[in-house]
Amino acid sequence: MRGCFRCFVDNPPQKRPPIHDDPGMTPAEATTPVEQGARMVCATLREAGHEAYFAGGCVRDMLLGRPPADIDIATSATPVETTTLFPRTAQVGAEFGTVLVILPEGQYEVTTFRSDGPYLDGRRPARVAFTNAEQDALRRDFTINALFYAPDRDEVVDYAGGQTDLRDGVIRAVGDPQQRFAEDHLRLARAVRFAARLGFTIEPATFRAIREHASSIRRTSAERVAAELLKMLTEGAARRAFELLDATGLLEEILPEVAAMKGVEQPPEYHPEGDVFVHTLLALEHVDRVANPSPALALGVLLHDVGKPPTQTFEDRIRFNRHEKVGAEMARRICQRLRLPRRLTERVEWLVEQHMRVARIPEMRESKRIRFVREPGFPELLELARIDALASHGGLGHVDRIADYMAQLTPEAAKPAPLLTGKDLIAMGHTPGPLFGTILAAVEDAQLEGALTTSAEARAFVAQHWPLDRHGNVARDRDAHNRDSESGPDGRYSSNQG
């Protein structure tokens, strides 16, 4: 099926914008540098006697009015022929017919039309055969991703009915869905992501095949599954994605800890919205309203109450004692299982562990409060606290007060210039060692409390609390963070040095 690109744009799917705001503008007149480069690649291939099309997701997104992040090209040229036509290329998958063409405008994967042999590992074909455009389209995952666009003719080439499904808002596997999902198990998750992100429904036969093959997702590499999950969480339709993961049976296979939240009741006086899973879905809905949420924030919201199912008790009321501690450990294991980067894992673990502390910030000593809010992940933590509240009782008073406090906290007050350094301690006769960190942290705490304002006061503070004997050793060693006897009745350090 062939169709005019302009015709589709002039009759777009309901509630979806056309590719250009100006209905009189043609694709050729409104191109990004990336698209201009892709057109040049296609023109070069055509001039050499080959077919060449924009292919796959980029065509889908252009038809939906979404500028594609990158443009893939399908061609009748073999990898060797493609390589000879462009001065800069790289081999990124020659065994599958793919060559990377490098231009100033961008990098383009140029793949020879192919049909796939058997998939033996649930990810990639054991072999491929170069073929024609129609066979290439019919090997693809979903009809809306099996579209080609001929830029020279301004024409959509559709062998799988993708334009109809795009207009109707349907995710449909190309051909036999059982075969498509058996070929590449990650397609199970991709169907969910596309349906959520685009606001589409999953066609019944495709949906049934996902449910039947759900357990196969466990045979997909953790890294590939994690990449799909992060996209689901950050592309603006996280709640819908996780509802579909649950409905298809994929949630139990990928994140059984999240599936375990279903039916775990909460005290209605704090959580009138319902059980832990309902609360989490509502929280994800609020993530959808955050502009460009970070993966850490999205994962933190998803997992902030993951410790509730194993810690639920029924005492005077429903309680989840230490659920944030248990949940932090569970979140760390989940992130490690998904092979997420170490820094992301650490940040998610920290967000889960700390999310209950936000409400206690007003009760903290000033030094502890400042140290907490200047943590690198605190803006994400405060946003998590806001989302947590909106998804339950709705009260944002504590979040707003903390935001006001942070707005008034100057950089100099949050991180003042140190009154003492390690060199100063050495000059006072102290021997370098682990105790230096304790002493300097205690000095900074007193500085943040306003008890110390000068270097002279800081030296006197150290001399009082860590005096040296005649051999230069510390006569007594106090834990700088447990000096209840050294603080005044308001919990602040006493400025009385005598």
DSSP H helical ranges for 235-294: 238-248, 250-254, 256-259, 276-287
- 422, containing H or E segment: helix 422-427
Q: What pLDDT is stored for residue 4 in this prediction?
A: 55
- Single-letter amino acid code for the residue at 400: D
CA distance 387 to 238: 14
Residue 450 CA to its chain's centroid (Å): 40
Q: How many residues can be counted in the chain?
A: 498
CA distance 454 to 438: 19
Identify whether the C-beta of residue 78 lies closer than 8 Å to the C-beta of residue 148.
Answer: no
Residue 488: what are its φ and ψ, rounded to 5°? Answer: -75, 180
Adjacent-strand bridge partners of 108? 101
Identify whether the C-beta of residue 74 lies closer than 8 Å to the C-beta of residue 96.
Answer: no
Sequence-ordered list of residues with C-beta below 8 angstroms from that of 321, at least 6 positions apart, any chain? 311, 313
CA diameter of the chain: 94
pLDDT in tens, the chain (498 residues): 565 555 554 554 444 433 333 333 334 444 789 999 999 999 999 999 999 999 999 999 999 998 898 999 999 999 999 999 999 999 887 788 999 999 999 999 999 999 987 777 767 777 788 999 999 999 999 999 999 999 999 999 999 999 999 999 999 999 999 999 999 999 999 999 999 999 999 999 999 999 999 999 999 999 999 999 999 999 999 999 999 999 999 999 999 999 999 999 999 888 999 899 999 999 999 999 999 999 999 999 999 999 999 999 998 899 999 999 999 999 999 999 999 999 999 999 999 999 999 999 999 999 999 999 999 999 999 999 999 999 998 889 999 999 999 999 999 999 999 999 999 999 999 999 999 999 999 999 999 999 999 999 999 999 999 999 888 788 865 444 444 434 433 344 433 333
Place of tokens 């090209």: 73
Residue 94 CA to its chain's centroid (Å): 31
CA distance 72 to 59: 9
- Spatial CA neighbour of 365 closest among 493, 494, 496: 493
Q: Which domains does the chain have, with CATH numbers?
A: 2-168 (3.30.460.10), 294-415 (no CATH), 422-486 (no CATH)
106-112/98-103 β-pairing: antiparallel
CA distance 433 to 438: 10
Sequence-ordered list of residues with C-beta below 8 angstroms from that of 312, at least 6 positions apart, any chain? 264, 318, 319, 320
Identify whether the C-beta of residue 173 lies closer than 8 Å to the C-beta of residue 180.
Answer: yes
The angle subtended at Cα 75 by Cα 70 and Cα 80, nearest 5°, is: 105
Encoded tokens for 143: 């009809």
